[in-house]
Amino acid sequence: MFLDHILLHVEAGHGGPGATSFRREKSAEKGGPDGGDGGLGGSIHMRANRALNTLNPFRHKREFIAGRGASGEGCTRHGVDGENVLLDVPLGTIIRDLPSGEQLAELLEPGQIVCVVRGGRGGLGNVHFKSSTNRTPKHSQPGEDGEIRDIELELKLIADVGLVGFPNAGKSTLVSRVSAARPKIADYPFTTLEPQLGVVAVDEVDSFVIADIPGLIEGAAQGAGLGIQFLRHVERTRMLLHLVDLADPMQEPEEAIRIIEGELQAFSEVLFSKPRWLVGTKLDALQDEDRRARFEAICRSRGQEPLLISGVTGEGLRPLVFKLGAMLGQMQTP
């Protein structure tokens, strides 16, 4: 099951106490203090991992505690530092503090690491407190407490191209045909239950990431169906493909376009204003040429070249991939 929001409890390790110790040597009749410092408490870090696209690894374990620092010892021996904890999360993860809601970090680059709670400093041993007036200090410092937090993780997937449209509009089929991703596909009205990411090769050098977002229904922006749960995942895409099922006799292309665009605008003006192409799907099953003509007229009225594909026969897929690659390349140009 796809998980894109979760609460965690994280505790950094306490610093180890410093030691109170004195040298005991035959050759040093008046041995001085030699208590070492305590070790640092372990910290908890989070690292962005491109191989992940869900927070599912945290489903069954939501509390993480780093190691405590060890006590200092005589002969000025430093205590061992507590063990750090490193947690991998998907790219696009936002980390917030609870209950303040303060955003602590946003992991957008592969390998990016942030510290969410920092371990306590180790206490100083009594060797640090020797002075001209106190030759035999009998005190040392306790270690500092590590930070403790309840945090919220929210995932917004990062992709170049996001697919939107009604359930069964052909989004999953498109992703499976142009990438190695294998989302579940059915020949009946069915919607993907979790976003799927696929890497699409344009040529031997260039590629882009495409995201199959669960199908929308009317009222999705107000919470109907699964739409509101996943619309935030297309907020980070650079452009959208709006897939329209041309073979569906129960819904006219004009109506399908109106409803989905209304949901995008109701959810976010930023999302609605992203570059968006209309793509007619299921060309192989189209029986009413008038539907095709009306769809093409809508595209031309928007200044867009009509794009029609068939996930079954592959018609139009490579031209679509090349056009997307060129468009994304232009968007990268300053």
Do 191 and 323 belong to one domain? Answer: yes
Contact 312, 284 (CB under 8 A): yes
Do 135 and 195 belong to one domain? Answer: no
pLDDT at site 25: 72
Do 33 and 95 belong to one domain? Answer: yes
Q: What is the mean pLDDT of residues 290-294?
A: 94
Residue 117 and residue 74: Cα distance in Å, rounded? 30
Q: Give, in degrees to the nearest 5, the angle at Cα 297 between 292 and 302.
A: 130
Please check the confidence at residue 1 and state whether its pLDDT lies above 90. Answer: no
CATH number of the domain residue 252 falls in: 3.40.50.300
pLDDT tens-place string over residues 238-281: 899 999 999 988 889 999 999 889 888 887 888 889 999 999 99
Do 124 and 273 belong to one domain? Answer: no
Do 118 and 232 belong to one domain? Answer: no
> Which of 62, 61, 71, 59 is closest to 13 using CA atoms?
71
CA 48 vs CA 52, 109, 111: distances in Å: 9, 7, 5
Phi–psi pair at 115, nearest 5 degrees: -95, 125
CA 225 vs CA 196, 197, 231: distances in Å: 18, 21, 11
- 155, 181, 210: which is the final residue of a domain? 155
User: Which residues in 239-261 are b (16+ Cβ under 10 Å) and which e?
Assistant: bbbbbbbbbbeeeebeebbebbe
Do 97 and 178 belong to one domain? Answer: no
Q: Specify the pTM.
A: 0.69
Q: How many domains does the chain have?
A: 2
Do 14 and 95 belong to one domain? Answer: yes
> Which of 82, 83, 69, 68 is closest to 36 using CA atoms?
69
Q: Token match 């908890």: residue?
A: 44
- The confidence band for 96, taking pLDDT boundaries of 50, 70 and 90, is very high
Do 221 and 151 belong to one domain? Answer: no
Q: What is the mean pLDDT of residues 131-140?
A: 89
Residue 179 and residue 18: Cα distance in Å, rounded? 57
pLDDT at site 308: 96
Do 139 and 187 belong to one domain? Answer: no
Do 91 and 166 belong to one domain? Answer: no
Contact 320, 304 (CB under 8 A): no
Do 202 and 274 belong to one domain? Answer: yes
Please check the confidence at residue 16 and state whether its pLDDT lies above 90. Answer: yes
Contact 44, 6 (CB under 8 A): no
CB atoms within 10 A of CB 269: 9
- 131, 155, 179: which is the final residue of a domain? 155
Do 316 and 169 belong to one domain? Answer: yes
In a 3-state reduction of DSSP, which class is residue 178? helix
Residues spanned by the domain of 150: 5-155
CATH number of the domain residue 10 falls in: 2.70.210.12
- 95, 120, 155: which is the final residue of a domain? 155
